[in-house]
Structure formats: C-alpha cells, structure tokens
Amino acid sequence: MTLYIAYNCIGVAQATQTNVAAGGVAYTTTGSRMMIQLDIPSTIQLRIIEWGVSFNGSAAATPNTVELAQVATGTTVTTAYSTSTVLPLNDNTGALSRLTMATSGFYGAAVTRTSTTVDRVFDSQFVAPTNQYVKMWPLGREPIVAVSKKLQLSMNQQSATTALAYIVWEEI
C-alpha cells in the first residue's frame, strides 16, 4: 500500500520547486481560501489517511475555520500539481500518483475558493492563527473520496497569516 502526500507549498522532497515559499503560503486577505485541491480521476478513489495545518501567527486572534471536503466542481486555479510535487510517502520506489495533474489539482498561491457546493465534509475545525491541527483517522475508518470528485482543503481566513498544510492518502 503506497501512501502519497501533497502540501499547499513546497515539501521536503520538492526542494527544487521555485514558485512557492519554502515555509508555507502567505494568505494575506480574509475570506474563503483554497489551500489544497486534489482532482480524482474516474479510475480511482482516495482513502484519506491524515491531514494537517499549522499557522505562524504570533498573537491570539479569531480562529480560522478549516475544512476538508469532497466537492463535485473544483475551484479554477493556476498552479498544478505534478509527479514531482505529489510523491510516494512511504515507498521511495512506489508508483507515481494517478491523480489528474492539471490546473484543477492545485497547491501554492492563495486562491479564493469559488466552489462552495460541498458533497461531504470529512472534517471541519476552528484553528487559531497561533496553533496547528492534525487529524489521523483510525485504521479501517478512513473516509473515501469518490471517483471523479475533488478533495479540497480550504479555510475561512480571519486575518493575514502563513499556513503550511498537507494531505496523506492511499489510492484505491
């Protein structure tokens, strides 16, 4: 079972990427912001293993609402994932991810979330700008993202901050 990981920015294994800040993504305006969007093709489903987010705020403020959800229609984005930014996590020689790697799969820039019709919410949390959150589902109870859907990690940004977010999954 190969696990895959995607960040909203440059990850340790993607140190040669040039268009993303190495320490997270700066979200400078308030409102609904897309952090990660994964485009699932019609040939696979995703079993979500874990996700997490951390913020670099230095003072207490209103928490951001962070949501991991399945949607039918994705947000139009400009930065695409590739097979050099989505890599096997637990197997150096593992197969490349079968996700759709196009501008519907996304990381990086602080894009406004435009698809707000959600099929299913897998997790939703208030996370303070000085804090972090990690969710790992119990074995055998991981949520499944359906074929031909999008998995979005988004937030309702309350104040300017930098965020580092990731999702770990298995392709089934």
Q: Do 33 and 155 touch, CB atoms closer than 8 A?
A: yes
CA distance 104 to 91: 26
Q: How many CB atoms lie within 10 A of CB 4?
A: 24
Whole-prediction pTM: 0.87
Q: 119-133: per-residue pLDDT in tens? A: 999 999 999 999 999
CA distance 62 to 131: 11
Per-residue pLDDT of the chain (172 residues; tens, 9 = 90+): 899 998 887 654 454 444 444 567 777 778 888 888 898 999 999 999 999 999 988 888 999 999 999 998 877 777 777 777 788 899 888 888 998 876 555 665 567 777 668 899 999 999 999 999 999 999 999 999 999 999 999 988 888 888 889 999 999 9
Amino acid at 22: A
CA distance 63 to 81: 28
Sketch the domain layout of the chain as residue ranges.
3-14+21-171
Q: 29-60: per-residue pLDDT in tens? A: 788 888 888 989 999 999 999 999 999 888 88
Amino acid at 34: M
- CA dist list (Å): 77 to 62, 106, 112, 113: 27, 6, 9, 9
Q: Do 172 and 144 touch, CB atoms closer than 8 A?
A: yes
| The pLDDT value given to residue 19 | 47
